[in-house]
Amino acid sequence: MGSITLKKVAKRFGDVEVIPPLDLAIEDGEFVVFVGPSGCGKSTLLRLIAGLEDVSEGVIEIDGTDATEQPPAKRRLAMVFQSYALYPHMSVRKNIAFPLKMAGMEKSAIKAKVDHAAKTLNLSDYIDRRPGQLSGGQRQRVAIGRAIVREPSAFLFDEPLSNLDAALRGNMRIEISELHQTLDTTMVYVTHDQVEAMTMADKIVVLNAGRIEQVGSPMELYREPANVFVASFIGSPSMNIITGAPAAEAGATTIGIRPEHFQLSTDGGQWRGVVGVSEHLGSDTFLRVDVEGVGTLTARAEGEFPARHGDTVGLTPDPERMHRFDAAGLRIVR
């Protein structure tokens, strides 16, 4: 219950092809994250699955049956919108009860379900308030509550955390992951933030201009990015991308080295450069180093590293963890 399969699904708005034909399989119970830069078609893809947009071609199967022509209400999917889309004139209770009321459920059953959902989501104290009287995080919970009471076969989230401040975002991330573990329901989650993708996903789908660049588990994408786009998109701080002579030396058009895969030293090293900015976080030290003939590189040292602006340091890339890409930007498998 809750598998979603896209077969040659494409979407055009007029002449503009936002999503070229693509195939994708989402297994039952999986937490799938669509990640990509803003405007790459993540929301459109999610709305196609929800049935809020009609596909231009292709077939969408939900639980093995063709759902391409089904209206949104019939697909048994619940969506949490970026703006939360709460009904402003209804109390929290009525908001959460709305889908059940529309389904014609009995009053007493609705009350029991709403109370249970409110308790799960820590909303019991605000149950009679209007959305306008709630904080961002509380509104977020109401939107999730409205989704879970329906007991859908899959949840769709469209950038649900982008309106929250950083601290709250971290908490909600954990809450949503926990929710996935307790409910064990398929979740499709859209975000432009690769940190959210890496921390929450069972499977990440990296999108770029409507095309799927790579599908895989967070660690697969981290260890073996299929191309330069995925390599530079996944990981924080992002991977150093180097072209030219140093890349040719390694037998590639482009090489990529993650900041954490440099050996930093005060003297010696394969490349030597001048520290531009140094960020000391205690647990880590991030250095921006200008290396002549290579470019500006970001390097991470664990713990404290004694380097300041203007110092010269040595950088030695770990050859085992260097990513090599060909002229088309595709990974060269060694």
Ligand X SMILES: Nc1ncnc2c1ncn2[C@@H]1O[C@H](COP(=O)(O)OP(=O)(O)O)[C@@H](O)[C@H]1O
| Binding stretches for Mg ion (CB under 5 A) | 43
Q: In sequence order, which residues have a C-beta less than 8 Å from that of residue 268 and are 6 or more positions away?
A: 314
Residue with tokens 């058009």: 253
Residue 62 found at the interface with another protein (CB under 8 A): no
Stretch that binds another protein, among 17-25, 72-80, 174-182, 220-228 (CB under 8 A): 72-80
Q: Residue 97 CB: number of other CB atoms within 10 A?
A: 22
Nearest alpha carbon to residue 122 among 104, 106, 145:
145
Round to whole Å and give the CA distance between 190 and 167.
20
Residue 85 found at the interface with another protein (CB under 8 A): yes
Residue 93 found at the interface with another protein (CB under 8 A): no
Taking the complex as a whole, how short is the minimal distance between the CB of residue 80 and ligand X, in angstroms? Answer: 14
Token pair of 117 as six digits: 């959902």
Residue 169 found at the interface with another protein (CB under 8 A): no
Round to whole Å and give the CA distance between 190 and 36.
9
Taking the complex as a whole, how short is the minimal distance between the CB of residue 57 and Mg ion, in angstroms? Answer: 22
Token pair of 140 as six digits: 């977020």
- Identity (one letter) of the amino acid at 27? E
Residues near ligand X (CB under 6 A) are 13, 18, 36, 38-44
Taking the complex as a whole, how short is the minimal distance between the CB of residue 40 and ligand X, in angstroms? Answer: 4
Residue 109 found at the interface with another protein (CB under 8 A): no
Q: Which of residues 126-145 bind another protein (CB under 8 A)?
A: 130, 132
β-strand partners of 331: 325
Residues that bind another protein (CB under 8 A): 50, 52, 71-73, 77-79, 81-83, 85-90, 98-99, 102-103, 130, 132, 146, 150
